[in-house]
Structure 1
Amino acid sequence: AQGNKDYTTKALYYIDQIQSANVYTSNIKERVNKKIEFGSTISVAKTSVQVAVAEGVVSELIGLLTQFIMKYHHNTGLNIEKVYSISHFNDEIQESSYNYQ
């Protein structure tokens, strides 16, 4: 009896659950997806800022972003006054850069 071993097989249906999307709850999936979206968006935004600064078109980028915010701000609770102050700040930057030239 020492050399003989008995093996039994069991259904491995639970492995599908471990390897599939069932591991994560929908809340965790949503949170992870939002983090991925946020990270990707920040990466594109940073690159856009770098390009705008290098090309001297920061005001154009701010204008595009302001238009985007104005179009989609309704369900976000954003303070619209901040959008206007960013535009105003941009005008002040342009005026001060003319004074240095």
Structure 2
Amino acid sequence: MVPMNQVLLVSFLLFSIGVAGVLIRRNALIILMCVELMLNAANLNLIAFARHSGTVAGQAFALLVMGLAAAEVAIGLALVVALYRKKDTVQVDGINLLKG
């Protein structure tokens, strides 16, 4: 059995790496991967607290978050492919489609 504080520390580190990646990187694919990393850190928290409290509610929420993450990847990747076809770049600084 791994102590809960160690699991929370690993989750905090994963979430911090994800936030840093979203804030620092400018590649849309890497930003999507960092968002997935943050969702996995949230799943780790949900599972840890479910194990600590002895209920399965956290595990049910984690399954829900996994489904949300799969949908986010599908839609995000489709948007990135469409933007690449239109602008020939996946750098978020070079995308200005909403400007008038």
Q: TM-score, normalised by structure 1?
A: 0.42
Higher gyration radius (CA): 1
**Higher relative contact order (Cα pairs below 8 Å, separated by 6+ residues):** 2
Q: TM-score, normalised by structure 2?
A: 0.42
